[in-house]
Chains A and B, each alone.
Chain A
Amino acid sequence: MAANPKIIVVGGGLAGLSAVIKIAEMGGQVDLFSIVPVKRSHSVCAQGGINAAKNLKGEGDSTWQHFDDTVYGGDFLANQPPVKEMCDAAPGIIDLLDRMGVPFNRTPEGLLDFRRFGGTLYNRTAFAGATTGQQLLYALDEQVRRHEADGKVRKFEHSEFLSAVLDGNRVCRGICAMDLHTMEVRTFPADAVIIATGGIGAIFGKSTNSVVCTGSAQSALYQQGAFYANGEFIQVHPTSIPGEDKLRLMSESARGEGGRVWVPKQKGDKRDPKSIPESERWYFLEEWYPKYGNLVPRDVATRAIFKVVYEHQLGIDGQPMVYLDLTHIDRKVLDRKLEGILEIYEKFVGDDPRDTPMKIFPGMHYTMGGLWVDFKQATNIPGLFAAGECEYQYHGANRLGANSLVSCIFGGGVAGPAAVEYARGQKAAAGNGHLDAERKRQEEINGKLLKADGSENPFQIWRELGDVMTRTCTVIRDNKDLAQTDTKLCELLERYGKLNLSDRSQWANTTFAFTRQLYNMLQLARVIAQGARMRDESRGAHYKPEFPERDDKNWLKTTKAYFAPDADEPRFEFEPVDISLIPPRARKY
């Protein structure tokens, strides 16, 4: 209908901004919502690079090989056609970013340089130092600012998505959002809505994710009827730096540039790592996986580190930590290619990784699962699209390093035009009473929270949520534990009903905003735990020692959770996986 439809994009990371640019170019009007100024979105944290088979190293790489590595790395759980499209589009995406001014590292001839990442034998990862996500986000942010200056984009920063506005036919007609300064709840009409709200790390308490990555928006939509797919697939990154406030990522590019993972062979060896001779070090990844060595996929590396630390009890100094060693690499090379991450280690730990092996341990990093979408990024709610980490489409049971940035930009690039096309073919809503109704529903939730006079502290509930999810829903899953986890989550939800907020003011109240997110985190945690409980096999990041093998006969299928409002709990159905392009084969690195 409308030639210049109004599209709302929620989330200003790579996926959201990619969608915004496409919509603006097609003549659409965008309202862009973000909790933080978009330039501070979590995409800035991506370090190592972005994959594209440009084959600039004479290795005979191809987009088909990228596609095969991605599907195999994901243990065949991803629907294959959209993954193939993404891998085919990736070289063009790199070119676009290059034209936008991303300062990618160069070869002496002035061409793009590429390095190796996990789960592939090819140098396929383009990079800008070790802050690639930052550089990509800035490039898209700058283009969006240009469209903003031209009046095609309105930004609503410091604004939190609360819910979709659905009309009487359950068609999405806009969103309801809360201004995080005035705390005012408002509804915004739109012809279509794109959700690009990223990860869910906060459900696990401490993770490599940013503070805003709570999964609150996805959970709210799931509670409004959107399917949530493959929630049980959680990536634990093998190399993070444990911290008091978060787990800081130590990029896979450290290993891509030659970093080696090892522990002292002797239990409780207290010597300075530099003084331990080669013969007394155990390079367990290189020994166990001679072909891929330190660059096995993340799920494989993480389980190997767990085995060394917990079964062999060879963690450094008896602690859950192993060495990631760069000290054999030339300092100038390190500075040119990895400076950003070395600086993080230096600043937060106090040691220089050019001189001293880093101490690292696996940490929750990424959700492969997310909102269910079709091949055009549409959710099952008409008018509602999703792109980026918040949806489930591209990574199957395990994501390969440096594939997240490409999936965000590609997914956003599909969602934007798809939303515009949808909006152009859509009739206007019959009335607009649904806008007011949704605002009232959200104001009632807020009013109840402000009046709550129980004794529970939301931050305490969050701490307990993070503890139980990290213990039972990350690297090793056990059915008995998972059943108890759901019981614990129900207890936390019950305690949520007896809150007492330490801050009831109605101005820039971060406690209040967090408390609203917390409810959604608890609901989504149940989807993750119950999905993991049900899936009796091991596949990619989902590892259950009781069922150590992949079981294609029973479990080569997508988990789809939906919310049963009356029972206040998730229900599940399963959908076959599209394996029309590459027949599943055993995954052995």
Chain B
Amino acid sequence: MANNNTVLIKIKRQNGPDSKSYWEEFEIPYRPGMNVISALMDIALNPTTRQGKATTPITYESNCLEEVCGSCAMRINGRVRMACSALIDNLEKPVRLEPLSKFPVVRDLTVDRSVLFENLKRVKAWVPIDGSYDLGSGPRLLPEDQEAAYPLSRCISCCCCMEACPQFNESTGFVGAATISQVRLFNTHPTGKALKRERLSALMGDGGIHECGYAQNCVEVCPKDIPLTRSISEVGREVMKQAIGDLFRK
């Protein structure tokens, strides 16, 4: 066992997309205030396993280290979360690090999450402005409308909600909570709602909003406390309304 001056960390590694995974253990010096990222930095400085075997530094994604860029999502002690805000003091030891399980592994703790950005394209998650030239001020917005939009706009595209969702898998092709919540954001914007019909249509059919099984895991793991289940139920209602309307229009 690691003594009080060191921390034991077990990391699930994988050399490439088609390689087999394996575990390595590291014992690193403890310092108060350290987080999972600083532990991974320590390993890079001295890439030696607990058993004394020379190895390679861990490949992982990180950038801002302030939980706002969304890069460093991983499974820490079995739970998906951001590594930068995972303080070692608050984690059960040994600390177990694994890559997200629902996304293709690139290497070690790095996975390919580009599916989310593709989904955002599919639902046209933008405000269709005429152009970037000077056209005067934007629409007036009451403080309560801004206060409703802002929390939705804080989504960092970390994909934690998708990882935790039992319905997000290859067989359903479910789009996931993050994208649905962005649909709600843009459909409530005074200009953004011009594309409302197209966005709702994009959420019908295979992998659409009806795949949600209401497990509510998404809202529990979201590091930004975004009201994801509320987004799903509101957008779900709109999709339903539109689908029924479409039936009668035919």
Docked CA distance A347–B89 (Å): 12
Mark the stretch among A61-69, A240-248, A517-525 that contacts chain B: A240-248
Interface size class of B (residues with CB under 8 A): 35 or more
Docked CA distance A43–B66 (Å): 12
The residue from B31, B47, B132, B137 contacting A98, defined by CB atoms under 8 A apart: B137
CB A67 to nearest CB in B, in angstroms, measures 19
* Contacting residues, chain A, for B139 (C-beta < 8 A): 98-99
Q: A111 near B140 (CB under 8 angstroms)?
A: yes
* Contacting residues, chain A, for B2 (C-beta < 8 A): none
The residue from B35, B56, B61, B126 contacting A244, defined by CB atoms under 8 A apart: B35
Interface size class of A (residues with CB under 8 A): 35 or more
Q: A142 near B125 (CB under 8 angstroms)?
A: yes
* Contacting residues, chain B, for A413 (C-beta < 8 A): 132
Which residue of the partner chain A has the closest CB to B150? A103
Q: Which residues 84-136 of B have a CB within 8 angstroms of A? A: 84-85, 87, 106-108, 110, 113-114, 117, 120-121, 124-129, 131-132, 134-136
A-B contact count (CB 8 A): 194
Docked CA distance A113–B40 (Å): 42
Interface string of B48-71 (1 = CB under 8 A from A): 000000111101111111111111
**A507 at interface by CB-CB < 8 Å:** yes
Q: A108-B143, A143-B126 are in contact. Are A36 and B63 (CB under 8 A)?
A: yes
**B191 at interface by CB-CB < 8 Å:** yes
The residue from A37, A101, A107, A503 contacting B127, defined by CB atoms under 8 A apart: A101
Q: A99 near B138 (CB under 8 angstroms)?
A: yes
Docked CA distance A211–B129 (Å): 33
Q: A105 near B136 (CB under 8 angstroms)?
A: no
Docked CA distance A344–B34 (Å): 15
The residue from B47, B68, B124, B147 contacting A44, defined by CB atoms under 8 A apart: B68
The residue from B45, B191, B192 contacting A463, defined by CB atoms under 8 A apart: B45
Q: B124 near A348 (CB under 8 angstroms)?
A: no
Q: B65 near A105 (CB under 8 angstroms)?
A: no
* Contacting residues, chain B, for A109 (C-beta < 8 A): 140
* Contacting residues, chain B, for A459 (C-beta < 8 A): 41, 44-45
**B186 at interface by CB-CB < 8 Å:** yes
* Contacting residues, chain B, for A245 (C-beta < 8 A): 34-35, 37-38, 41, 65, 84
Q: B107 near A507 (CB under 8 angstroms)?
A: yes
CB A501 to nearest CB in B, in angstroms, measures 9
Interface residues, chain B, with chain A CB atoms under 8 Å away: 15-16, 31, 33-35, 37-38, 41, 44-47, 54-57, 59-71, 84-85, 87, 106-108, 110, 113-114, 117, 120-121, 124-129, 131-132, 134-143, 146-147, 149-150, 153-154, 156-157, 186, 189, 191-192
Between A and B, 17 residue pairs with Cβ closer than 8 Å are: A96-B129, A96-B135, A99-B137, A100-B129, A129-B150, A243-B38, A244-B38, A245-B41, A248-B65, A340-B154, A347-B85, A413-B132, A502-B57, A503-B47, A505-B15, A505-B56, A508-B106
